[in-house]
Amino acid sequence: MKVNEHGSPADRGSADAYYGRRMNPHWWPSGSYEGKRVESRDMSQSQIDAYVEAYEAQDSFKDW
């Protein structure tokens, strides 16, 4: 899986931050909103780390 692939932990972390959502590690193995969503309890530590890193690195945000 590529780091910025749609649905990846990093993709979901940056999207959550961009849209002002609270931090909630998760990802979609089949692509964003496709198939089954994987919750943090079922993620590896490296997947959680990728989500958190992308969430914290996001520096542009949705202008509502």
Q: What digits encode the pLDDT tens for the residues 10-57?
A: 999 999 999 999 999 999 999 999 999 999 999 999 999 999 999 999
CB 6 within 8 A of CB 31: yes
Amino acid at 12: R
pLDDT for residue 12: 97
Q: Is the pTM of this model over 0.85?
A: yes
CA atoms within 13 A on the CB side of 40: 10
